[in-house]
Amino acid sequence: MALDTTIVPTTLPGGKNATAGKLIVAASELMIERSSIEISLSDIAQKSGVNSALVKYHFGNKDGLLLALLARDAATEVANLEYLLAQPIAPTAKLKLHIAGIIRAYHRFPYINRLIHYLLHETSAEAADEVSKFFVAPLLDFHRRLLAEGIEAGEFRAVDPVLFYTSLIGACDHLFFGRHAMSRASGVGPITDEVCRQYIKHMEALICDGMLNPVQQGSAAPTG
Give the closest residue to 148 by CA, choosing from 138, 158, 139, 140.
158
Choices 12-20, 27-35, 49-57, 204-212 (CB under 8 A): range interacting with a second copy? 204-212
Find all residues with CB under 8 Å of 193, minimum gap 6, and list them: 107
Say if CB 141 and CB 74 are below 8 A apart.
no
Query: Does the protein bind a second copy through residue 134 (CB under 8 A)?
Result: no
Q: Considering the rule CB under 8 A, would residue 211 count as an interface residue with a second copy?
A: yes
CA 81 to each of CA 21, 46, 75, 132, 139: distance values in angstroms, whole numbers, following the listed order: 24, 35, 10, 17, 8
210 part of the interface to a second copy, by CB under 8 A: yes
213 binding a second copy? (CB under 8 A): yes
Burial class (CB in 10 A: 0-12, 13-18, 19+), 155: middle
Q: Name residues contacting a second copy, limited to 184-203 (CB under 8 A).
A: 184-188, 198-199, 202-203
The reply to whether 42 sits near a second copy by the rule CB under 8 A is no
Query: Which residue of 40, 87, 132, 192 would you call a contact of a second copy, by CB under 8 A?
Result: 132
Binding site residues, a second copy, CB under 8 A = 92, 116, 120-121, 128-129, 131-133, 136-137, 140, 154-157, 159-160, 162-175, 177-182, 184-188, 198-199, 202-203, 205-220, 222-223
